[in-house]
Amino acid sequence: MDSKKTDEIVNVLIYMGSYKSKLPIRDILIRGFQSGALLGISTVLAYTVAIQSSMYFLGALAFPVGFAIIILIGYELVTSNFAIVPMSVMDGQSTLKDLLHSWVWAFTGNLIGSIFFGMLFFVYITQLGRNYDHDIIDKIIHVAQDKTLAYKSLGSIGLVIVFTKAFLCNWMVTMGGVMGTVSTSTIGRIVALWLPIFLFFALGLEHSVVNMFVIPTAILLKAEITISDWWLWNQIPATLGNIVGGVLMTAIPLYLTFKKKAHH
């Protein structure tokens, strides 16, 4: 049996949270950069599969490839850290200052990596701005507009919707991080983490790091979206929803119900 009991998993997550919260800025930025770029690549893969197969379901099935790489290597993904680091804080292994250190620099690294890959994607898909006639370009622009202008048109209701979708999204994403620790085998970890990540993408929920790639890339591709549209109608409320979802739906329930058993 290569599976772990949940109380053992919680102890591992607490240790991981403590370790991640005390990493040097350089390490968080480098690892965060890699995570942002990998999720951008996975998003392009998912959209490509969905377009070629005419089945969004298959695209969602392909998307977790990048997340699996991130978890197996141990890179920094801020949305996973929205649950893992708070568990360490609740256990007294990390401080709030450590938590902010982890979140701020992982967010920054993810953002830089996402935009970097978006720029590379722009170079090769448009032939340096010479050709915009691609289905994948139309897809990214359409998705980005749905993630910004559609919410903007609804006003405050749009903010509630994006926050709610981000809340639900990071419940699944943080569970993906948890599921990546349930086994001692590589295959077991990949299969386990694949499930919740597939769920969030298939349901079209709001993941702040994926959006760091999709929306600025759409802007590069001449979508009628402004920087303020990106941040005010998606990035900020989506990030806040991701934080609340990760803490309330993953970190607190797991710690309260399984950490107690680990003490016996």
Q: First-to-last CA distance in the chain? A: 23
Given a cut of 70, whether residue 252 has pLDDT beyond it is: yes
**Which tops the pLDDT comparison, 76 or 2?**
76
Given a cut of 70, whether residue 139 has pLDDT beyond it is: yes
pLDDT digits (tens, 9 = 90+) for 147-181: 999 999 999 999 999 999 999 999 999 999 999 99
Given a cut of 50, whether residue 83 has pLDDT beyond it is: yes
What's the confidence (pLDDT) of residue 263?
Answer: 45
15-19, 25-29, 255-259: range with lowest mean pLDDT: 255-259
pLDDT digits (tens, 9 = 90+) for 97-126: 999 999 999 999 999 999 999 999 999 999
Question: What does the alpha-carbon distance between residue 38 and residue 70 come to, in Å, rounded to a whole number?
Answer: 8
Given a cut of 80, whether residue 182 has pLDDT beyond it is: yes
Residue 261 confidence class, pLDDT cut points 50, 70, 90? low
Question: What does the alpha-carbon distance between residue 40 and residue 121 come to, in Å, rounded to a whole number?
Answer: 9
Task: Provide, rounded to the nearest whole percent, the portion of the chain with pLDDT above 90.
Answer: 97
List the chain domain ranges. 6-127+135-253
Mean pLDDT across the chain, nearest whole number?
96
The pair of structure tokens assigned to 90 is 């609740």
Q: Which of 3.30.365.10, 1.20.1080.10, 3.20.20.70, 3.40.50.1000 would CATH assign to domain 6-127+135-253?
A: 1.20.1080.10
How large is the greatest C-alpha to C-alpha distance in the chain, in angstroms?
65
Sign of CA dihedral 89, 94, 96, 101: negative
Question: What does the alpha-carbon distance between residue 10 and residue 62 come to, in Å, rounded to a whole number?
Answer: 28
Given a cut of 80, whether residue 262 has pLDDT beyond it is: no
What is the pTM for the complete model shown?
0.96
Given a cut of 90, whether residue 1 has pLDDT beyond it is: no
What's the confidence (pLDDT) of residue 2?
Answer: 81
Question: What does the alpha-carbon distance between residue 8 and residue 245 come to, in Å, rounded to a whole number?
Answer: 23
